[in-house]
C-alpha cells in the first residue's frame, strides 16, 4: 500500500448520491440503496483506476472496480453516502475488507510504511517502524491477504514487464505505483526516470 491522496468530490455527487441516500436513510424502512454506484466511474477516474489497497490498476470493462466504504455501512450508516468515506477498490479487496475497521486507511498510510521484497514479491512492513505501527501494517497485510498467489502473480507480471524492458517505467508508475515506488526506494530506478 502507498499513500492515496484524497480527491475532491465530483460536482454532481450531492445530487446523484448524497441527496437520494439521505432520503433513503430518513425513510421509514431506512433501506440502504446502492446510490454510490452512480459515482463508481467517477471514483475510478479520480484515483486513476488504481485500487487503494492493492495499488494495482483496475482495467475498465472488467467489472472489477468497486466502491469500498472505508467505515462500513453496517456500522456507520451516516457515512454511507459520503464521498470522503469511499475508496476505490478492486472487487477482491472490497470483499476481503468487508466490514473490517482495523485495516489501515490508504488516505492515512504514509509512503514507506509498506515495502516490497523483490525476490519474493511479498508485501512486508518497512524496516524501522515503531512497534505499534509495525503491528498495524502487518495486520493490514494479513487481513487483506495481500500476499496471496493471485496478487503475487500480478506483481510478478508487472515486474517481468519492467525487467524485460517491454514497457517503460512510466507504465509501471501508472499501473502499479507501489512497485514503481519500491524500485526507486531500493535504488533500481533513479527518481528522475
At 16, phi and psi to the nearest 5?
Answer: -85, -30
Q: Mean pLDDT across the chain, nearest whole number?
A: 95
Mean pLDDT of 161-167: 95
Phi–psi pair at 36, nearest 5 degrees: -60, -20
What is the Cα–Cα distance from 70 to 22, expressed in whole angstroms? 18
Residue 193: predicted pLDDT: 47
User: Which of the four pLDDT bands, split at 50, 70 and 90, describes residue 191?
Assistant: confident
Model confidence at 112, pLDDT cuts 50, 70, 90, reads very high
What pLDDT, on the 0 to 100 scale, is given for residue 132? 97
Which three cell numbers mark 172? 509501471
172 forms beta bridges with none
**Alpha carbons 118 and 60: distance in angstroms, whole number:** 28
29 or 82, greater pLDDT: 82
> What's the confidence (pLDDT) of residue 61?
83
Burial class (CB in 10 A: 0-12, 13-18, 19+), 38: middle
Confidence category of residue 192, pLDDT binned at 50, 70, 90: low
**Dist. CA 107–CA 154, nearest whole Å:** 23
Distance of CA 27 to the CA centre of its chain: 32
Task: Report pLDDT digits (tens) over 40-99.
Answer: 999 999 999 999 999 999 998 887 999 999 999 999 999 999 999 999 999 999 999 999
Residue 52's pLDDT is 97
pTM (predicted TM-score):
0.93
Amino acid at each position: 500500500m502507498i499513500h492515496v491522496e484524497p480527491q475532491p468530490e465530483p460536482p454532481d455527487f450531492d445530487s446523484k448520491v448524497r441527496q437520494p441516500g439521505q432520503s433513503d436513510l430518513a425513510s421509514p424502512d431506512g433501506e440502504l440503496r446502492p446510490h454510490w454506484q452512480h459515482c463508481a466511474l467517477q471514483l475510478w477516474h479520480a484515483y486513476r483506476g488504481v485500487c487503494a489497497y492493492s495499488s494495482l490498476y483496475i482495467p475498465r470493462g472488467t467489472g472489477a472496480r468497486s466502491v469500498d466504504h472505508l467505515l462500513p455501512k453496517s456500522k456507520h450508516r451516516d457515512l454511507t453516502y459520503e464521498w470522503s468515506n469511499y475508496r476505490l477498490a478492486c472487487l477482491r479487496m472490497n470483499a476481503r475488507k468487508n466490514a473490517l475497521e482495523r485495516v489501515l486507511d490508504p488516505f492515512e498510510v504514509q509512503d514507506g510504511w509498506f515495502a516490497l521484497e523483490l525476490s519474493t514479491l511479498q508485501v512486508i512492513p518497512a524496516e524501522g517502524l515503531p512497534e505499534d505501527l509495525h503491528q498495524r501494517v502487518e495486520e493490514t497485510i494479513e487481513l487483506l491477504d495481500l500476499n496471496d498467489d493471485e496478487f503475487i502473480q500480478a506483481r510478478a507480471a508487472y515486474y517481468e514487464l519492467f525487467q524485460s524492458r517491454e514497457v517503460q517505467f512510466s507504465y509501471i508508475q501508472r499501473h502499479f505505483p507501489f512497485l514503481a515506488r519500491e524500485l526507486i526506494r531500493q535504488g533500481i530506478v533513479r527518481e528522475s526516470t
